[in-house]
């Protein structure tokens, strides 16, 4: 019997496959396709203090082997998530969820983390520091080690849940940011968020996305994500949730060999709502082919 289980900060997951934030809503749409309790966990849509409509449409653009989105953190706000979404999730998902939070100030991150800490459903808080920080003159929390450390330290104080800092790949040295987060008390690192990308509609001669640019993700970005997971895993001791372009059981295994303790699947869920189910079902066969008995044994072997 192949053993697919992995452990993240003391939380045992049946398998390492986790839908990524923003590509799985709160799970409701996917439970109509399959029983989502087969998942290791899922990371829900990035939640902010206030409800947000997000950016103007068009918000999505197709690319070769990937897509761009500029959803802009549309979400119903922390109150609705706690009062409506989490209770609803409880009706169809029996495992701890990963609570992804976004924010435009340190205070907002702290507020959201504090509020979510009380929920027993929340296993890990994933702190997405890849959004523009309006309070710091346009510097992103996720691209400045000091700002990243500041958020980490503040959220650290606000909650007893494990906190995973989610990093942006649009930086020169992702290991510096990761180390700053580790030093400031992060329990783990999630990476990567989307690459900044753009498409132009050559018929209208205008950017496809209303906001001009957006986040590029999907299969195309896998080599960049894998490289960053590998680099960060050599630089920090805390666990890594690897993501970026994962679309198959083989990709999951490659990510884990690069150093990820668990793996998220993002855009692939959108083109194939059964993606995570198919990956989980394929894992035992691929493990057998590769003579892997326990998936957790391969973390960082490369």
Partner 1 sequence: MNKVLFQILTNNQIAKDVYRLILSGDTGGISAPGQFVNIELEGFYLRRPISVCDWDDKTLTLIYKTVGEGTKALSKLKTGSLNLLTGLGNGFDLSACGKRPLLVGGGVGTPPLYGLCKRLIERGAEPTVILGFNSADEVFYEEEFKCLGAETLVATVDGSHGVKGLVTDALKVLTQDFDSYCACGPEPMLRALYKALDIKGQLSFEERMACGFGACMGCSCKTKYGSKRICKDGPVLKADEIIW
Ligand X SMILES: Cc1cc2nc3c(=O)[nH]c(=O)nc-3n(C[C@H](O)[C@H](O)[C@H](O)COP(=O)(O)O)c2cc1C
Distance in Å, CB of 300 to partner 1, minimum: 23
Task: Give the dihedral of Cα atoms 226, 229, 231, 233; nearest 10 deg.
Answer: -140
Of 91, 157, 89, 169, give the one whose Cα is nearest residue 129.
169
With CB under 5 to 8 Å by kind, the binding choice for 298 among its own copies, ligand X, partner 1, none is its own copies
Between residues 59 and 161, which has the closer beta carbon with respect to partner 1?
59
Token readout for 291 is 């003579």
25 binds partner 1 (CB under 8 A): yes
27 binds ligand X (CB under 6 A): no
If phi over 0 gives left and psi between -120 and 50 gives alpha, with beta otherwise, what is residue 54?
left
| Among residues 60, 153, 224, 235, the one that binds partner 1 under rule CB under 8 A | 60
| Among residues 193, 233, 248, 251, the one that binds ligand X under rule CB under 6 A | 193
119 binds ligand X (CB under 6 A): no
* Main-chain dihedrals φ then ψ at residue 241, nearest 5 degrees: -100, 115
Between residues 43 and 159, which has the closer beta carbon with respect to ligand X?
43
> In whole angstroms, what is the distance from residue 110 CA to residue 286 CA?
41
130 binds partner 1 (CB under 8 A): no
Q: Beta strands 163-166 and 188-191: pairing type?
A: parallel
Token readout for 250 is 């083989």
Which residues contact its own copies (rule: CB under 8 A)? Answer: 61, 63-66, 68, 143, 170-172, 195-200, 202-203, 205-207, 212-213, 216, 219-224, 226-227, 230, 245, 250, 253-254, 257-258, 290, 298, 301-302
With CB under 5 to 8 Å by kind, the binding choice for 194 among ligand X, partner 1, its own copies, none is ligand X
Between residues 64 and 202, which has the closer beta carbon with respect to ligand X?
64
- H/E element holding 206? strand 206-207
240 beta partners: 189
Between residues 74 and 121, which has the closer beta carbon with respect to partner 1?
74
Cα 302 to the chain's mean position, in Å? 23
> In whole angstroms, what is the distance from residue 109 CA to residue 104 CA?
8
Distance in Å, CB of 170 to its own copies, minimum: 6
Inter-CA distances, 242 with 50, 82, 136, Å: 29, 27, 28
Please give the residue ranges that form the binding site for partner 1 (CB under 8 A).
Answer: 22-25, 28-30, 32-33, 45, 53-54, 57-67, 69, 71, 74, 208, 218-219, 267, 269-274
Annotated catalytic residues are 131
């Amino acid at each position: 019997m192949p053993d697919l289980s992995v452990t993240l900060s003391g939380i045992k997951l049946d398998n390492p496959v986790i839908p990524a934030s923003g590509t799985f809503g709160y799970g409701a749409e996917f439970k109509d396709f399959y029983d989502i309790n087969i998942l290791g966990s899922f990371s829900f849509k990035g939640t902010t203090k206030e409800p947000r409509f997000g950016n103007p449409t068009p918000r999505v653009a197709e690319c070769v082997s990937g897509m761009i989105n500029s959803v802009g953190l549309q979400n119903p706000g922390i109150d609705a998530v706690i009062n409506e979404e989490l209770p609803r999730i409880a009706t169809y998902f029996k495992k701890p969820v990963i609570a992804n939070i976004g924010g435009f100030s340190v205070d907002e991150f702290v507020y959201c983390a504090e509020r979510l800490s009380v929920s027993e459903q929340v296993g890990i808080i994933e702190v997405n520091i890849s959004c523009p920080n309006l309070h710091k003159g346009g510097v992103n929390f996720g691209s400045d080690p000091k700002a990243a450390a500041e958020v980490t330290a503040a959220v650290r104080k606000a909650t007893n849940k494990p906190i995973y800092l989610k990093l942006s790949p649009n930086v020169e040295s992702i290991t510096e940011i990761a180390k700053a987060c580790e030093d400031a008390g992060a329990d783990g690192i999630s990476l990567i968020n989307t690459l900044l990308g753009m498409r132009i509609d050559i018929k209208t001669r205008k950017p496809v996305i209303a906001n001009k640019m957006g986040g590029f993700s999907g299969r195309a970005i896998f080599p960049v994500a894998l490289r960053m997971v590998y680099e960060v895993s050599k630089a920090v001791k805390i666990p890594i949730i690897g993501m970026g372009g994962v679309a198959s059981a083989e990709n999951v295994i490659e990510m884990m060999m690069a150093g990820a303790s668990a793996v998220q699947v993002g855009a692939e869920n959108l083109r194939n709502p059964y993606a995570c189910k198919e990956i989980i079902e394929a894992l035992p066969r691929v493990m057998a082919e590769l003579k892997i008995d326990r998936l957790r044994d391969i973390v960082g072997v490369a």
